[in-house]
Structure 1
């Protein structure tokens, strides 16, 4: 019987052989820039959330539901997008362009929304963006850089972190002279133009043997993902990370704006701290995980996030808060690509985008209800209960990551750290 790697290879969807002008590193650069643009829109939204809540007189649970809708739509899109990206690779760039288009149209509808229900529909449309972007982008990078997967995915994450770092500050400044609805509307045309530019830039991206894909063989390889212990373990850890991450961002912005009474610029600055140091830390941690193994980096990362989030309970509004958020920024966004790389290490060629879709869908499934759960905790026990909730999840994930399988046994030699890879 063929093993999973052999089955996936039989599909014929392998390594790209004709990249856009500039070679394969140009492809990495273009995807990194595109990821930065996508995250600009996603992260800027957090600074606008308190204004939506105030203007529409929403409860904490209703505010959390906005993020839940975004997460649910993203999760629903993840797996079919991954399957499509593996089977019809010649059209994968159109999927990437559609991700940025969804952001532009979604922002247009939020800016014009007359009622809360319309906001939910519009935000759901923006939720398509991560679901359409991540599976094909991760699949391309994993196929193109199989021996540098941790670094490639971490550089891709670095691009997202750049957008995450700049957008909150700029959006916060824009709120100083524009109404919140206008801030949404002025970002519509750039998103649509950038979608067209991305498709044009990557128009030469093709893959070997696309016309010879055997769908039956592909499905065999894809089914193997559901019994792969490493893939399932990384899906669980990724889900726990997303569970805490989504709740943290939802209620951190409300804590800064409503409890600490920070200005929009100050809120934007402090949210940007969550990614600023991660811009440099993410590729460094990815490279480290390539060299010493994923497990030590994942364990330390989860532990640091958990302890730093708990520290927010006592940090107050001064420099302590600023330092805690800056330190949190080293780890918060750097963990996801390393967890993803661990799962991608365990699969064969041909199902990379499907595996990415499965991992992202699991993360989204875990995180979808988290803002509502945290909203109930905030409503019953106060805003700091959200930090206790998130910190506890991250510490539990640290413990689980010490014992769960994160590499296939035959490819898991001991490392100098003393921990299995």
Structure 2
């Protein structure tokens, strides 16, 4: 796709993961159902091709949300981009139904996302990273800029360029988090790098592997390494007393319903805090029941057989990781200090939330903040900005403080993208009506 500098797009998306892919679907379906001027859109993605957590597409790893929480169904059950439509197009609808599960494998869901993304290649510039936003200098009237300008950095062999937009939707994803003082290298990884790096090793040569973390990714990597490195001692380093169970019971799951966003956004400070106090165990540092039971069963069987390879180091934290030649030494702290020598240490220690400040660039001063210094966000995910800023800046992520637990998750992705698209359409309609209502100046009269 080649976005043209001379064009002014109604929507420019920063990032093209599942969230902005869902937005692209919502925009296309709006355009096909209205006689109004269609919305124009362009997306910029720094990856060279569509991909979503590729390095955690482990064998047999399943989604933690039902297939109906795809990128379209909750907004439009009749969408041609639903997961069911994908299964039908792939000839696997009957097979999936016979499998009797609500939860597809992560690999299959990724294939579904790729299938949808293939319909929007004409709107996406891959290998293109947005490096900042600024005011367009091509506006008219009172010397004020009319549009937002999106600056796109040049990758290998690419020139830096910019495009103009009436609205920008930021969805740059989460940022991998490592413990303070720990630096990654060829044998110290974050889980976001896992499969790519693991494929570069010979698993049969591994003697000891440490996996640090208490969440789903940590548990899945521990199981995967135990399966694929037959001679390795596998150490699961857990800050809690074993893995905690993810609460996916019906009442708890309501915190991810679209209606819960209103309850959070318009709720009192006390009500908002209750969401976090009572329901973080639905998503954060928790593991699915079947994975917990599988790992415990493996550990117990090894005890019975007298040949232990799987070790759970509970109530333990990593204080330091040191490299000495080919040796990697992990300093463990559990009331006492001990060193563990490993061939590989994987940190499944989560992510920092999306921080849009780097993308906002020159426009950051126009974006208003609350008393805690956080960006103010309207219910439709639009940043609250000063009146001098034209257009709108929307966030897909980084809104946990205003919209609650589902802000960066797939659960509410279809409805959230639909609300953003509808907000953009409604604001454009209001602007057109205002323009039509303005009195026409007599010919020759200067303003």
Give the TM interval when normalised to the shorter protein: under 0.3
Q: Which has the higher contact order (CA 8 A, sep 6+)?
A: 1
* TM-score, normalised by the number of residues in structure 1: 0.28
Give the structure with the larger strand fraction. Answer: 2
Give the structure with the larger helix fraction. Answer: 1
